[in-house]
């Protein structure tokens, strides 16, 4: 017999199945986050200024904004983005 909240749910198998399905989905999602976060973080840490400038320009940022964020001149930001 399956008891959830002290109630016999044997007659209500779909409720138990749904809860197990939700639990598995939640666990798989957290597992993916725990495994992928370090990889994404390391890639972000190792991104060069040129790569950052290209990515930011593609996202629509101005050269002045890129220059401010990368601590370079707007001319250098433009060269990085166009390289």
Query: How does pLDDT run across 12-38, given as a tens digit for each residue?
Result: 556 566 788 888 888 999 999 899 999
Indicate whether 80 pLDDT > 90: yes
Residue 31 shares a structural domain with residue 53: no
Q: What is the distance of C-alpha 68 from the center of its chain?
A: 25
pTM: 0.53
pLDDT range class, residue 40, cuts 50, 70, 90: confident
Judged against a pLDDT cut of 50, whether residue 61 lies above it is answered with: yes
**Domain that includes residue 77, residue range:** 47-83
Q: How far apart are CA 49 and CA 69, in angstroms?
A: 10
Per the structure, the count of domains in the chain is 2
pLDDT given at position 8: 59
Both 32 and 52 in one domain: the answer is no
The predicted structure's pLDDT at residue 54: 96
């Amino acid at each position: 017999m399956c008891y959830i909240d002290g109630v016999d749910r044997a007659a209500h198998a779909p409720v138990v199945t749904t809860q197990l399905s939700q639990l598995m989905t939640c666990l798989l999602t957290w597992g993916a986050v725990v495994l992928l976060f370090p990889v994404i973080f390391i890639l972000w840490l190792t991104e060069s200024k040129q790569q950052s400038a290209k990515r930011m320009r593609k996202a629509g940022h101005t050269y002045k904004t890129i220059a401010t964020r990368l601590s370079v001149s707007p001319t250098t930001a433009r060269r990085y983005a166009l390289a």
